[in-house]
Every structure is written in C-alpha cells, then in structure tokens.
Amino acid sequence: MQDIQISKPLPADPFAPKPYSRNDWQKGYQSQPNEYSYWIDDIEGQIPPQLHGTFFRNGPGLLDINGERLHHPFDGDGMICSFAFSAGRAHFRNRLVRTEGFLEEQKAGKILYRGVFGTQKTGGWLANAFDLKIKNIANTNIIYWGGKLLALWEAAEPYRLDPHTLETLGQDHLNGVLQNGDAFAAHPRIDPSCQMDAGAPCLVNFSVKPGPSSTITIYELSAAGKLVRRHAHSIPGFAFLHDMAITPNYCIFLQNPVSFNPLPYLLGWRSAGQCIKLVPNQPSKLILIPRTGTGAVQILETEPCFVFHHANAFERGDEIVLDSVCYDSFTAIEPNTDFRDIDFEAIPAGQLWRFRLNLKDKTVSREVVESRCCEFPTLHPQNVGRAYRYLYIGAAHQPTGNAPLQAVLKLDLQTGDRQLWSAAPRGFAGEPVFVPRPGGVTEDDGWLLLLMYDAAHHRSDVVILDARDLNKEPVARLHLKHHVPYGLHGSFTPEYFGPQV
Ligand code: CO
C-alpha cells in the first residue's frame, strides 16, 4: 500500500551554477565574542502580535580561542541566543555558556582541551597523548523544561541558565536524576500526551555509554521536571547515537554500522570523533526500547546508512513508521584539513527516508521521501510520535547535489506537494522551528522561525514564515545588528523571558 507520496531522485547536474559562494558561506563561521541585549527595531514586515514566547537557539559561538582556530565547529563553546516575542515586538540577547572549560581557556588564552571532533591542544601529539579530559561545551541544544533553561551537550550533564539574563548558573543534575559525569543527550523529545501519565506531556531523553556493548538509559520527566521513568538497556556493539524518535510505546534508535578504534585517540593522533569509522557492508540496526521499561528490546536490521537526526515516528498496526535524514556514509574531518575547506560535492548529502518496521515478521523496508539535500527537520509539536502530514526541513537551494542549507522545504506527506522558501544566493538557513498559532486548527497553522546568516550584510536575521504557505514572502524579517555563527538546535517556549514592558 502506498501511504506516502515520494519524489524520485534526480540526476545531479554538474553544469548547474552554484547558488552560493564559498567565501560567503565561510564568513558565517566567524566567532561572535560579543554579548548583546537590545530590542530589535530593524524589521521588514510585521511580527504577528499572537506570537508570544521565547525562541532559544544554541550553537558554537567561538570558532577560535584567542585566534587559535578550532578544527571543527562542533568543538566550539556554546552560545545561547534568545528572541523574546510579545505584542508584536522582539527582544534579542546572547551569551556564551560559562562552562568550566570555557572559563579556564579564556583565562589561559589558549586551547587547553582536546575536542571530540578534532581540535587538539597545541604541542602536537605528545601534548595530546593520553589526555582524555573532555570539555563540556554545552553547545548543541537548549530547552526550557520543568522551570529550568538547560543547555545540552550529549556527552555530559546539562548546564542551567537564567532564562531572563542567560547567566550561567552551573551544571544541573535534574534534581538528583543525574550523577556527576552522567551524560544527557541533546535530543529530548516531548510526548504531547503520554498514555502512561493520563495524557500529560512528558519529556523523553536518553544517554549512551558506548563500548564493545553499549548501554542506553532512557529518562522520562514530567512537566514539573520530576523523573517519572528511568531504565537502562545493554545493546551489542559500539553505539554512536545522536538522536532518537518516540512513539507512544517505543523509543527508537538507528545504530549506525560504525566501529571505534580508541588507539589513535589515546595516542593523541586523532580526536575521538575521528576514530569512528563506518564499517562497510554491515547493516544498520533499528533498536526499539519499550517506554514502559518492561518487555524485550527489539533489534531489526536494514541497509547500511548513517543517521544523525530523525524527523518523526508513529505506530500503525503491527508497523512502526520512522522518517529520518540518512547519509550514505559518515564523513570524518581528517587531521590537517580545515572544515571551512570541505568539498560539498565530495561528501554525501542528507536525504529524507521513510523506514517501515514490521514488528510481526521483523523486516524493514525503506524508500526515499525527499532526495534534495536536507537536514534539521521540524513538525507541529502535537504530532510528535503520531501520524502526521506536514514536515518542514532545512534544505539546499537546488534539488540535486550536496550544498549548504539555504532554504526551508515544506513536505505534504499526504499529497506529495512541496513548497520551498529560499534565501539563496547570499542567505544561509539554520534549523527551522515550528510554532503553532494559538487557536490554530490545521496542522500547518503556525509559523516557522529560523536564524539565517545574510552574507551580503554579514549579519543574521530571524525569519518568520507562514507555515501554511512558504511561497509567500516571509511574515517578517528581523535584522540583527551583527552575525550569529551557524548554530545547531533550538526550541520555542510560550513563556516570555524578555524585559518587562
Ligand atoms: Co542534532
């Protein structure tokens, strides 16, 4: 049964002109050491008066320490931006997260820690050998949950910040849920209506202890931030798991077929991330953990592929449908190369795939839903873990080939319709976040908020799109006074954390 309209992959056109210049793209990776707080007054269009709440973003704010360049943006110290919307106005604030490592390195004026993604201390491999200290850089995601604003980085505890001032309050152990040194992933999912909690919303997150066999721990927190479920499971093999999808009954992971050889890391030749290798001809594994914590973990196999992010999943009879952004292979940033020089054409592009997991006969089928290079999916929060119609995702301007994200794509999974809003040639798009319009009835009644780097003015804009129709001009474009380096993830809370007006 065909349950989804798919687009067929198109052959790449090697003669098509590039919709961007590399120099423009690279400028968005300059550090932003300044911290600001101001009302945004340079606005095209109008901020919808109904848009009320705070849009938080996280991402590397510093791409160098005192001029020493980091090897990979994922190693950059986290910087939080907040955009507080109320009564048609918006207030901006940004602050770097004062992690322990950040404070030490700023004081020393040099790189003191090895980064997971290749940044090394000065002094060559001797200075790095057997140094396994990792800096919690709190740079991947930011959520407001249980009355706390938490900056997340998947290999360590969250950092808590004051949601009004973005002042760093210190590491947070979630009221005793975490122990010192415990990890808490950067990709929590919010179940809008948990069947185990009488329909109350809950936050579902995980941590991974990778090894020859890996341990996945699931945490579920109530809206008040109280632990309602926690259970741990051992799975075979080294697990590099960045994200997870949920349904009412399951947490779903895709275990990439990778191996980890720790020797070059221990010897200081390579970073931990550079020791991860895709194992050829090995299947990817889909891991289903029952959210109740009881019952067996199921592992199904599918073709080799690499996944960072899942879009959504839902249950349908004996089947689970999982939509994920897949890559043909894992691209490690080699030592002695600079990420700013990456050759987009030489590395695989993310594409949206749909997996169908048949729980009865333990088989998996898959097909490509969107072959255009895309990453950073978002959807209506009420449809997380449920059947859904609309997906929004950052995308390349052109339908073929790998390129930086410059556009937002809306997919109608029922009709196969596509809409694309593009900031090309000089705009570069970040992750879109869907915000429902209060009182909205249809699934796409809301706004998409995203940060866009405008190379023409070397500044960033917040773009507000009407999610019902991406062919229309943006509802509003808010020009910041400066740029914000390309970020990772963020979220929206209906609570307003700007200055009192
Ligand atoms: Co992510």
CATH number for the domain that contains residue 55 = 2.130.10
> How far does the centroid of ligand 1 lie from the alpha carbon of residue 141, in Å?
8
Residue 3 CA to ligand 1 center (angstroms) comes to 28
Cβ–Cβ under 8 Å, residues 264 and 244: no
242 C-alpha to ligand 1 centroid (Å): 6
* Rounded Cα–Cα distance for residues 459 and 463 (Å): 13
Question: How far away, in angstroms, is 326 Cα from ligand 1 center?
Answer: 13
Tell me whether residue 6 is in a domain. no
Helices and strands, counts by H and E, the chain: 4, 35
Q: Flag whether pLDDT at 422 surpasses 70.
A: yes
Residue 434 · residue 443 · CB < 8 Å: no
81 pLDDT band, cuts 50/70/90, is very high
What is the distance in A from the centroid of ligand 1 to the CA of 27? Answer: 22
> How far is ligand 1, taken at its centre, from the CA of residue 74, in Å?
10
Decide: helix, strand or coil at residue 170: strand
CA–centroid distance, 185 to ligand 1, in Å, is 9
In a domain, 3, yes or no: no
C-alpha 234 to ligand 1 mean position (Å)? 23
Q: How far is the CA of 41 from the centre of ligand 1 (A)?
A: 31
Residue 156 CA to ligand 1 center (angstroms) comes to 15
Half-sphere CA count of 23, side-chain side, radius 13 A: 1
Condensed to tens digits (0 to 9), the pLDDT of residues 443-463 reads 999 999 999 999 999 999 999
State the distance from the centre of ligand 1 to the C-alpha of 311, rounded, in angstroms: 11
Q: How far is the CA of 243 from the centre of ligand 1 (A)?
A: 7
Share of the chain above pLDDT 90, in %: 74
Q: Is 137 exposed, middle or buried (0-12, 13-18, 19+ CB in 10 A)?
A: buried
Q: Show the beta-strand stretches assigned E in 328-403.
A: 351-358, 363-370, 374-378, 390-395
Q: Separation of 403 CA from ligand 1 center, angstroms?
A: 18
At 368, give phi and psi (nearest 5°). Answer: -80, 130
Which amino acid is residue 465, in one-letter code?
A: L
Q: Is the pLDDT of residue 24 over 50?
A: yes
pLDDT of residue 113: 84
Instruction: Tell me which of 15-19, 242-246, 253-257, 428-432 is least confident.
Output: 15-19
Q: Domain count of the chain? A: 1
Q: How far is the CA of 1 from the centre of ligand 1 (A)?
A: 32
User: How far is the first Cα of the chain from the last one, in angstroms, to the nearest whole number?
Assistant: 55
Q: Separation of 32 CA from ligand 1 center, angstroms?
A: 21
176 in a structural domain: yes
Among 308, 314, 265, 263, residue whose Cα is nearest residue 284: 308
| pLDDT score for 2 | 46
Of residues 70 and 196, which shows the higher confidence score? Answer: 196
C-alpha 500 – ligand 1 centre gap (Å): 33
Contact 232, 209 (CB under 8 A): no
pTM: 0.93
- Predicted confidence (pLDDT) at residue 8 exceeds the cutoff of 70: no
**How far apart are alpha carbons 276 and 297 in whole angstroms?**
25
CA–centroid distance, 490 to ligand 1, in Å, is 10
Least confident range of 268-272, 368-372, 376-380: 268-272
What is the C-alpha to C-alpha distance for residues 466 and 458, in angstroms, rounded to an integer?
Answer: 25
Ligand 1: distance of its center to the CA of 392 in Å? Answer: 15
What is the whole-number distance in angstroms between the Cα of residue 376 and the centre of ligand 1?
8
- The residue among 141, 30, 25 whose CA lies nearest residue 482 is 30
Whether residue 491 is predicted with pLDDT greater than 50 in this model: the reply is yes
Handedness of CA 147, 151, 152, 155 (dihedral sign): negative
CA of 108 to the centre of ligand 1 (A): 30
When pLDDT is averaged across residues 85-114 and rounded to a whole number, the result is 93
Q: Residues 249, 323: contact at Cβ < 8 Å?
A: no
CA of 488 to the centre of ligand 1 (A): 7
Answer with the residue of higher pLDDT: 135 or 368.
368
Cα four-point dihedral sign 349, 345, 305, 219: negative
Q: Is residue 2 part of a domain?
A: no
Residue 378 has pLDDT above 70, yes or no: yes
Domain that holds residue 324: 22-493
How many angstroms separate the alpha carbon of residue 87 from the centre of ligand 1?
A: 32
| Tens digits of residue pLDDT in 157-172 | 999 999 999 999 999 9
Cα–Cα distance measured from residue 198 to residue 247, given in angstroms and rounded to the nearest whole number: 16
Taking the centre of ligand 1 as the mean of its atom positions, its distance from the CA of residue 489, in whole angstroms, is 6
CA 310–ligand 1 middle distance (angstroms): 9
Domain membership flag for residue 501: no
Mean pLDDT (the chain) is 91
For residue 171, list its beta bridge partners: 159
Q: What is the mean pLDDT of residues 226-240?
A: 94
Q: What is the Å distance from ligand 1's center to 309 Cα?
A: 6
Q: In the structure encoding, which two tokens stand for residue 140, read together? A: 């991947």
SS3 454: strand
| Helix, strand, coil shares, percent, the chain, to 5 | 10, 40, 50
Q: How far is the CA of 487 from the centre of ligand 1 (A)?
A: 10
The Å distance, Cα 410 to ligand 1 centre, comes to 20
* pLDDT above 70: percentage of residues in the chain: 89
Q: How confident is the model at residue 322 (pLDDT cuts 50, 70, 90)?
A: very high
Rounded distance, CA 213 to CA 219, Å?
20
pLDDT above 70 for 334: no
Q: How far is the CA of 40 from the centre of ligand 1 (A)?
A: 28
* Structure token digits, residue 231: 């259970």
Q: Is residue 14 part of a domain?
A: no
Ligand 1 geometric centre to CA of 88 (Å): 30
Q: What is the pLDDT of residue 242?
A: 93
Q: How far is the CA of 460 from the centre of ligand 1 (A)?
A: 21
Alpha carbon distance 237, 206 (integer Å): 17
Could you tell me the distance, in angstroms and rounded to a whole number, from the CA of residue 179 to the centre of ligand 1?
23
Ligand 1 geometric centre to CA of 375 (Å): 10
pLDDT of 400 higher than 80: yes
Band (345; pLDDT cuts 50, 70, 90): confident
Give the Å distance between the CA of 154 and the centre of ligand 1: 9
114 vs 478: which has the higher pLDDT: 478
Ligand 1 centroid–CA 44 distance in Å is: 30
Lowest mean pLDDT among 179-188, 330-339, 356-365, 463-472: 330-339
Q: What is the pLDDT of residue 351?
A: 96
